[in-house]
Amino acid sequence: MSVIKEPSGTRRRRGHRAGRPTAALAARAAVAACALLTGCAAGPPGRAPDPDEVIKAATQRLTDACLIRQGLVPPRNGAGRPPGTDEERVGAALFGSGPAELSLTLPTGYVVRAHTDGCLAAAQQRLYGDQPGWFRASVVVNNLRPEADRSHRDLAEVRARHRTEIAAWERLRAHALTEATAVLENPPPKGNPPA
C-alpha cells in the first residue's frame, strides 16, 4: 500500500510490513466490505448508503475478483489462510511489488508512496478513473490537519491553500461513487483470465 517516510529519513509503518498492510489489517477491511455486500451494514431501510462504504465494498469486490482470476484466495478476517497459501504472493498481487511508482512529499516532511500495479491499484484505477490523480489528491486531503498543526495555521487557511487538490478529491470521489454503484450492481467476472 503506502510507506510513510519521516523527515529524518527513518521509516514508520503503522500496521505495515515491507510497505504493505498486515494480513490482519487487510482481513478486517475485507470483512467490513463483505458485511456491506451482504446488506448487514446497510443501515435503516430507506436511508441512502454511506458513499464511503459503497466505495469500500466495490473496492473489495474488484480486488477479490482480481485475486481469484490469478488463482489466489482473498484474505479474510479470522478465517486463517488455507494450507500452502503463499502470503507474500497474495500481498504482491494485492498491493503491488517492487519499488513504489507513486511518491508524494508532504509539507510536514513525510513521504508517502504507493504502487501502480496490483489488484488494489487496478481497483482504484477502475473506480476513480485516475489512480495517480487519486493518490495525490487523497494523500494531500487526508493530511490537511497534520499540515495545519505543523505549520501552526488554521485548518481553514490550509484548506484554502489546497483548493485545487480538494476539488480534484471531490471530483474523483464522485466518479468513484458512480463506478462503485455500477460494480456492485454488475459484479466483475471471477473466473480464469482470458488467454
Contact between 63 and 119 under an 8 Å Cβ cutoff? The reply is: yes
Query: Which residue has better confidence, 195 or 53?
Result: 53
Mean pLDDT of 32-43: 42
pLDDT averaged over every residue in the chain: 78
pLDDT tens-place string over residues 134-183: 999 999 999 999 999 999 999 999 999 999 999 999 999 999 999 999 99
pLDDT tens-place string over residues 126-147: 999 999 999 999 999 999 999 9
Mean pLDDT of 98-122: 93
Statement: residue 191 has pLDDT above 60: no
Cα distance between residue 112 and residue 86, in whole Å: 27
Q: Residue 129 forms beta bridges with which residues?
A: none
Amino acid in position 57:
A
